A and B are shown apart, each in its own frame.
Chain A
Amino acid sequence: MIKADSLNKQYGNIVAVDDVSFEVQKGETFGLLGPNGAGKTTAIKLLCGLLKPDAGTVTLDGKTNPGLIEVRLSLGVVPQTLAIYEELSAEENLRFFGRMYGLSGQKLKERVRDCLEIAGLSERSKERVSKYSGGMKRRLNMVCSLLHEPPILLLDEPTVGVDPQSRNLIFDTIEDIKKQGRTIIYTTHYMEEAQRLCKRVAILDHGRILDMDTVENLITKHGGPSHIEAEFEERPPDPGKIKPLIGDENIQFEGSRVRFQTDRPMESLAKLNSSGLRFRSLKIQTANLEDVFLNLTGRRLRD
């Protein structure tokens, strides 16, 4: 459905996108995860034809020219910036963009009404957008791209700077779109979002893809072990017997408390339990994409 092949884009001496290649299947939600300045927005601009690549090709639904009208009609892009007219109302914005995508009459009316509902703006649809909160603007910014029901959706950090309520609404909307079988590329620097929404994720840094796989595989490959902190009802009589059960030489004992790392947390805990130790409390911190990024780059996502 979407194919990026060896994409390159340079601004002067700065390499924004460096030999980026990936393929997204129909109905898949693919994430581009990386810190600010990693090249995510540039990649989206290359995909939708806003920028011409210095090298490489983009194929959307089998077509290599994103400028074609049929390709543009199949594409919905949610830009990172609030690309809406603040001087107009939400309804006027939607009507305008709807007309731009060829909607008219009853169909336009219905789509505008549906999108206002999705964005939770039905009651304030006639108000000027400049009076909306940041979250409301973000929601409108997103639904403006859903009006024409595109089969491909490119979302460029759609939750930047929004309140938790709006964020959840945006997530719910994306979940719904996923269920409809549409193809989505989602960029973010929040690992929780990528982990929640995307089936596969590409880790992007300095314009390059460091690795790309399913979330589970990335964590398995680069996330490192899970961190476990357990407190037993009684102090273990012989800590030396616990080490072989866990398989971690760096296990730490502190009274009735024990801390260790393992690649198989559930298995280790089951072994401890079967050895007769009773847990009073348990804290498991599994590896996540943040750890993946840290292990791949030596930096945190928000550094």
Chain B
Amino acid sequence: MRMVLFIAIKDLRVLLSDKGNIFFVFGFPVMFALFFGAIFSGAGEGPSGMKIAVVDADKSEFSGNFISELESDEALKIITTSRDDAIEQVRKGKVAAAVIINEGFGGGFDALFNSEEPKLEIASDPSRRMESGYLQGFLAKAQFTTLSGKFTDRQWMKDQLGLWKNDMGSDNDLDPEQKELFFNFFDSFDTLLKDVNEENYMADFGGDILNFAQLDVNREQEGPTTSFQITFPQAMLWAILGCTATFAISIVKERANGTFARLRIGPIGRAHILGGKGLACFMTCAFIMCVLFTGAKTIFKMPVSNLSLFIPAALCTVLCFVGIMMFICTIGRTEQSAGGAGWAILMIMAMVGGGMVPLAFMPGWLRPFSNISPVKWGIFTLEGAIWRNFSLTEMISPCLVLLAIGVLFFLLGVFILTRQED
């Protein structure tokens, strides 16, 4: 066993000394997972939320508080800009709408309830009416929340009542009886503001005006919840394919260079040599699987439905391809021929098995053919543990298929290699 380990360590050193190998085994799969994961998830736009441009022409304390209120809402992404730029961004579709806060917005009740001269404008594409309506709700909520802060200011409230009384007094069109009713209300309200204690006043006006509870109910998931659950199993398979090709080519290279013959002359059996090669391939595949899995879990928050089943799924997949590696190393006498033929076989396996295009997107007539590809079974078992919610019983069949393929190719490879060498 020590000799197998020595050979494996030597092979790992040789592997790590070649930058090209490192890229194909480590770099390419990671790039694959990130690139396709980003494409399928629409990543790059950052957290979701309606993007709106806000123009603050009022520059008052009230407008400032209003904008802060909007910014605090996760459903919105606020950009403050000039009027022209805001309109231009709406025109180009870069933002869903523009909100223009006109001068006088912070001028109290009069400004807020003046329907003839609105202090708030929404600029949006007419074809995006739903988003515009959605936005109006957010604006109303923010306006009332900001206003509730003002209600707690007794002096501000008294000033506002004074302004209203003056306006009403100078309004000659209003029925005197109605005017009397309003004045009585204003006086009573004024008395209330003067006499009510702080605790009761704040209890009535200090809380949220639109206060509701959010109840999160997740829809029952039957498929993957993130695109990374699709792309990372694919990436893991690409990493394994890279290892398979690299180690198969390394055996061919050793045979061509004569180092393989030197090993055979040594006081070790053929089983040690092939075992060492297989172990090195297995260790590399297992390591890159761990790296990809950890990265997917920690950086991309990829949910895994059953971690304990992921381990046997990964082991069976790796063992299968170690067997395939042993076969591929027998199909060429030179690095070039083995590399070309080996990659061709692996690419076909990947194409048919969903390594490039996920099986779900493949035409129906092609899917049955995927059953002949070990890549399909590899992805299937990994997905079984990641998002397909396989039970242990469900996991056994694909794992056995992988092991059977691996053993078959391994024995075939050893048989051909022995014949070629003798």
Interface residues of chain A, those whose CB is within 8 Å of chain B, are 48-52, 69, 72-73, 75, 77, 79-85, 87-88, 92, 96-97, 99-102, 128, 144
Contact (Cβ within 8 A) A72 B261: no
Q: How many residues of B are counted as interface, with CB atoms below 8 angstroms from the partner's CB atoms?
A: 20
User: Which B residues lie within 8 Å of A102 (CB)?
Assistant: 267
Chain B positions near chain A (C-beta within 8 angstroms): 3, 6, 10, 13-14, 17-18, 257-259, 261-268, 421-422
CB-nearest residue of chain A relative to B15? A87
- Pick the contact of B422: A52, A72, A144 (CB < 8 A): A52
Tell me the bound Cα distance from A85 to B253 in angstroms: 10
B267 x A84 contact (CB < 8 A)? no
Known contacts A81-B258, A85-B14, A101 near B267 by CB under 8 Å? yes
Chain A residues whose CB sits within 8 angstroms of the CB of B265 once the complex forms: 48-50, 72, 75, 77
Among A82, A87, A99, point to the contact of B258 (Cβ < 8 A).
A82
B267/A51 in contact, CB under 8 A: no
B142 → A minimal CB distance (Å): 65
Known: A85-B14, A88-B10. A100 touches B263 (CB 8 A): yes
User: Nearest 6 CB-CB pairs, A to B?
Assistant: A81-B258, A83-B258, A87-B17, A83-B262, A72-B267, A87-B14
Chain A binding site: helix, strand, loop or mixed by DSSP?
A: loop
Most buried by B among A81, A87, A96, A102: A87
Q: Which single residue of chain A is at the shortest CB-CB distance from B16?
A: A87
A105 to chain B, nearest CB (A): 13
What are 26 A-to-B residue pairs whose CB atoms are below 8 Å?
A51-B422, A69-B267, A72-B266, A75-B265, A79-B258, A79-B261, A79-B262, A81-B258, A81-B261, A83-B257, A83-B258, A83-B261, A83-B262, A85-B10, A87-B13, A87-B18, A88-B13, A96-B6, A97-B262, A99-B6, A100-B3, A100-B263, A100-B268, A101-B267, A128-B17, A144-B262
Q: Chain B: which residue is nearest A154 at the CB level?
A: B265
Contacts A72-B267, A100-B267; is A92 near B258 (CB within 8 Å)?
no
Min C-beta distance of B284 to chain A, whole Å: 15
Give the distance in Å from the alpha carbon of A50 to the alpha carbon of B255 in the complex. Answer: 12
Q: Which of the residues B10, B264, B268 comes within 8 Å of A50, measured between beta carbons? A: B264
Question: A84: which B residues are within 8 A, CB to CB?
Answer: 259
Bound Cα distance A128, B266 (Å): 23
| B422 contact set on A, CB distance < 8 A | 51-52
A102 and B267 alpha carbons, distance in the complex (Å): 9
Instruction: Point out which of A69, A99, A144 has the most chain B C-beta atoms below 10 A from its C-beta.
Output: A99
B266→A101 contact, CB < 8 A: yes
Contacts of A97 in B (CB 8 A): 262, 266
Q: Enumerate chain A residues within 8 angstroms of B18, measured Cβ to Cβ.
A: 87
Residues of B close to A49: CB separation below 8 A: 265
From residue A68, how far is it (CB to closest CB) to chain B in Å? 9
**What distance in Å separates the Cβ of A52 from its nearest Cβ neighbour in chain B?**
6
B229 to chain A, nearest CB (A): 37
* Contact status B258-A96, CB under 8 Å: no
Give CA–CA (A88, B250) in the complex, Å.
Answer: 14
List the A residue with the shortest CB-CB distance to B261. Answer: A50
Given the complex, which residues of B lie within 8 Å of A48, measured CB to CB? 265
Question: B258: which A residues are within 8 A, CB to CB?
Answer: 79-83
Q: Report the Cα distance A92→B10, complex, angstroms.
A: 9
In chain B, what residue has the closest Cβ to A84?
B259
